[in-house]
Amino acid sequence: MNETQVSQLPVYAGNDLGAVWRSSATAFRLWAPTACSAALHRFATGTDAEPEAADLGTLAMQRSEGGTWYLELAGDLAGQYYQYELQFPDGTSTVTADPYAHAAGAGGTRSMVLNQAAAVPDGWQKDERPAIPAHARSVWEVHVADFTADPASGVPQAYRGKFMGFTVDGTTLNGDGVHPTGLNYLKRLGVTHVQLQPIFDFATVDEVSGEDYNWGYDPLNYNLPEGSYATDAFHGEVRVRECRAMIQALHSAGLGVVMDVVYNHTYYSYSWLERTVPGYWNRRWENGSLTNGSGCGCDLASERTMVRKYLVDSCVYWAKEYHIDGFRFDLMALHDVETMNAIRAALDALPGGEDILMYGEPWQGGSTRMEHGAIPANKQAAGLLDSRIGFFCDNTRDAIKGGVFNAGSAGYINGDMHCGYQVLHSIPAWRGGQADFMPQAPGQVVQYVSAHDNYTLWDKLKCVARRGDYAAPDADLLAQNRMAAGIYLTCQGLPFMQGGEEFARTKHGDHNTYRGPLELNRLDWTRAAQLEELVQYYHGLLEIRKAYPELSGMAGDAEPCILSLPGWLIGFVPERRGESLPGRLAVYYNPERTRQWAALPAGSWRYLCDGTRAAAEPFGPACRNAIELAPVSVTILKVE
C-alpha cells in the first residue's frame, strides 16, 4: 500500500473501537476500510481445549462511518470470546483477534468482552498515583518474573514470577525476618518509580505451561496484560484484575509504575493489525518489502493517521484504566516526533496527566522508511520533542563505564580517564552544546549505566578487568560500582538503574538473556543480603537526591559551577540562577587508584558521601580548605 493509497483511506476519529460493554448490550467496532465484508464469531471460551468450549455462532457486521464495521448485540456478553472474520476484494480472507481488545483467553488469539468494573481488586476506586516531586524521581527497572521467582524470596510459590508477587509485603530472605525481599525491599531502597519490562500480552511464552521465558519485546495484544503473569490465563478478567492489583500495591508503597511499551514493531508480520487492513500498518520499502528498523522485520508506521491514533489511544487507555505513572518507549527513534508529541498532549489532558513520565530509547535497530517527511524521535530531535519527553543518554552511560559494544572498553571509573571530558558534560545533562544533540531541560535526559540490554554493570566491570569469576565481590570493582552510581545520581536529569545493580547483579557474563533461562535472569535475593553495604550506599545516594533538589536540575534553571582541579579529578557546586540553594553542596569525582587532595570552596564542610557511605544527613568531622578524596570514589559535602 503506497502513500497515495494510504491517503485515500477513510479514517475514524471516535473513541469506541473494540468491544464496548454495557450490561444491556455490547457494541463491536473495527476499523477495516479495505474489507468487503466483516463478521463477528463468538465463543464460550478462549480456547477449544477448555471443558466449556462452545461455538456461539457468527454474525455479519454492518459497514459504518470512517471505514469501520459495526455490530451491537443485546444482553450481557461479559466473559464471551470473539474473533473477526474479514473478506477482501482480491478474494483473500483473514481471521483476527480485536486489535483494541482489553482482555483475551489463553494464548491471546481470541479477544474477550470485558466488564471493567468486574476486573478490579478491592479498593481500586481509591487507588491514586503517588505525588512524587520531579527532583526526587528515580527509576528502577525489573522484569515481572525476575522480581519474585527466586525460591528464597519468601513469596508463596503460587505468586512467584506473577503480577501477584508484587502484592506480598513483609517478605524476607527465606523468612529470616531480617533481610527484606520483593516489595518489602523496594519500599526500603529509596527509588520512586518501578519500570516494568513489557507487561502487555506478548507472543513467545506459553501462557498455560509457564515453562518458557522471554523479556516480552514481542507484542501480540497491546491493550491487555500478559497471561503468563496471571494465576489463571484462561479467564481473561483474571490477568486484568491481578495486573491492577500489582499496580495498586506499588502505589500503596508510594512507588510509581512505568510501563515499557513496544509500539515500534509487531512480533508477527501477520499481526492482528495487519490482518485487519493488509498493507497499512507496517512500513515498507518502495519494492514492497518490510522495513527492519526494529530488528524484527515489521516496523509500525507511526506517521500514518490510524497508527498514530492507535498509539495515542493505547497509552491513554493504560493511563486511565491501569493508573500507569509513566511510559518507556522501546526504540523510540522508530516513532516520529509528531506522534510522540501527540501522546504527550493526550496524557497531559488527563487528570494529573502532566506528571506521567515519558521517555524512550533515542535510537533504532536498523534502517526504516518514514513517510510524509516525518522526523524520527531521536536525540537530535530533542528540541522538537516536548521538553517532557526524555531519552536514555548512552553518552553518559559509555563515558562512565565504557562502551556497551566492546566488552573490554573502559570508561572514566575503570581505566580510561580521558572519558572525564564526557563526564563533565554529563553533569549539566549535556545542555552545553558539546554533543550532536541539545536537550531543552535536564528532565529530558535519562542518566544511567545499566539496563536490561547488554551486560549488567557488574559483569561489564568484570569484563574490563578480565576476571571470569563473576560472583566474587572484588573490593576494587565494588568501588567502581559505587563510583558509577555516585556519578549518575549526582548528574542532572532523571536517574535510572537496572534492578539489582545496587547489589552487583550478575548474569555470569551473558549480555543478552532475553530468552532466559529464568535462573540466570531472576533477582538473587541472597546476593542482595550478602552485599547489603552496597545496597545501603545506593539507598543513601537516593536519599541525598531527594533531600537536595539542586542535584537534579529540575528545581529551576540550574547550572553547576565546575571547580578547577588538577589531573582527572572533577568537582562542582550545584547552583540555581547563579545563587546556591539552601544547603549548598560540593561534589567530587576521583577516578585515580590513589588518594587525592582537592581544594574546597570557602566554608566548613561535612560529608554526605565519603565514597563508601552515603546519607542525607551530614556525618564525620568538619573540614576546610582542602579534602582528601578516597581512591575511585564520589564525595559529596554539605557546607555548615
Residues 6 or more apart from 105 whose CB is under 8 A from it?
45, 46, 47, 81, 112, 233, 234, 235, 236
Q: Is residue 291 part of a domain?
A: no
| CA max distance for the chain | 84
Same domain (yes/no): 235, 369? yes
Which cell numbers hold the place of 450?
545499566
Q: Is residue 289 part of a domain?
A: no
DSSP string, 363-388: --SS----STT--B-SGGGTTTS-TT
Selection from 35, 30, 32 nearest residue 18 by Cα: 30
Q: Is residue 561 part of a domain?
A: no
- Which residue range(s) make up the domain with 56? 3-118
Same domain (yes/no): 433, 468? yes
Which band of pLDDT confidence, cut at 50, 70 and 90, is reported for residue 434?
confident
Distance between CA 59 and CA 42 in Å, rounded?
A: 9
Distance between CA 64 and CA 12 in Å, rounded?
A: 10
83-97, 311-325, 422-436, 472-486: lowest mean pLDDT where? 422-436
Give residue 583's pLDDT.
59
- Out of 72, 93, 118, a domain closes at 118
| Residue 578 pLDDT exceeds 70 | no
Q: Length of the chain in residues, anyone?
A: 640
Give residue 322's pLDDT.
99
Selection from 636, 430, 450, 633 nearest residue 545 by Cα: 636
Same domain (yes/no): 110, 27? yes
Same domain (yes/no): 53, 80? yes
Same domain (yes/no): 148, 73? no
Which cell numbers hold the place of 515?
530468552
| Residue 311 pLDDT exceeds 80 | yes
Same domain (yes/no): 441, 414? yes
Q: Is residue 364 part of a domain?
A: yes
For residue 211, what is the domain's CATH number?
Answer: 3.20.20.80
Instruction: From the candidates 330, 501, 502, 524, give the one annotated as an active-site residue.
Output: 330
Same domain (yes/no): 60, 143? no
Catalytic site residue 398?
no
Per residue in 486-499, pLDDT (tens digit) is 999 999 999 999 99
Same domain (yes/no): 153, 95? no
| Residue 185 pLDDT exceeds 60 | yes
Catalytic site residue 610?
no
What DSSP designation does 192 have? S
Same domain (yes/no): 73, 36? yes
For residue 27, what is the domain's CATH number?
Answer: 2.60.40.10
| Residue 580 pLDDT exceeds 60 | no
- Out of 62, 92, 118, a domain closes at 118
pTM attached to this predicted model: 0.97
Instruction: From the candidates 201, 226, 361, 459, give the one annotated as an active-site residue.
Output: 361
Same domain (yes/no): 328, 437? yes
261-265, 577-581, 610-614: lowest mean pLDDT where? 577-581
Q: Is residue 72 part of a domain?
A: yes
- Out of 62, 95, 118, a domain closes at 118
Report the chain's terminal Cα–Cα distance, integer Å.
68
392-401, 448-457, 573-582, 583-592: lowest mean pLDDT where? 573-582
Same domain (yes/no): 309, 416? yes
Per residue in 132-172, pLDDT (tens digit) is 999 999 999 999 999 999 999 999 999 999 999 999 999 99
What's the mean pLDDT in 259-279?
97
| Domain count within the chain | 2
Q: Is residue 596 part of a domain?
A: no
Q: Is residue 43 part of a domain?
A: yes
Give residue 443's pLDDT.
96
Selection from 478, 387, 482 nearest residue 439 by Cα: 387
Give residue 577's pLDDT.
47
Q: Is residue 187 part of a domain?
A: yes
Strands 68-74 and 55-60: unpaired
Distance between CA 160 and CA 17 in Å, rounded?
A: 35
Same domain (yes/no): 323, 251? yes
